[in-house]
Amino acid sequence: MIFALGFVILVASVASLTRLAHDDVIAAPWRVRMAQKYGPSGYIPRMLECFRCTAIWVAKIPTLFALLVAGAALGLGPAGWLLMAVAWYPTVHAVAYLSYLLYLRGEA
């Protein structure tokens, strides 16, 4: 049960961080600097225009941290850590997609 609650908190925090990078006024100067530095057709400014793309990049570190905490709490052995490493990539995309769905509902 505690892991399910942790997953919900992870999705909500990634959605909030992604909204901060994508929409919020406080990050507007940073987005403008990225557009000036890399040009309007550069990779980073184009990525910041798409919420799903931004969510994938934002979700990487919090998801890694959450999986490390969960693995330590479970007391995993070497095979468990290997499985956790393999599960990291699909988990990042799942968290990013669920964050995107929260954003579409207007709840992020």
Token pair in block for residue 42: 């550069």
Q: Which pLDDT score, from 0 to 100, does residue 96 have?
A: 94
Token pair in block for residue 2: 């505690």
Region 45-57 average pLDDT:
85
Token pair in block for residue 17: 């961080």
Q: Which pLDDT score, from 0 to 100, does residue 10 have?
A: 92
Region 80-86 average pLDDT:
90
Q: What predicted TM-score, i.e. pTM, was given to this entire model?
A: 0.82
pLDDT in tens, 19-44: 988 888 898 888 888 888 887 777 77
Nearest to 3 by CA among 67, 81, 92: 67
Per-residue confidence band for 3, with pLDDT thresholds at 50, 70 and 90 = confident
Region 51-80 average pLDDT:
91
Cβ neighbours of residue 93 closer than 8 Å, sequence gap 6 or more: 56, 59
Q: Which pLDDT score, from 0 to 100, does residue 41 have?
A: 78
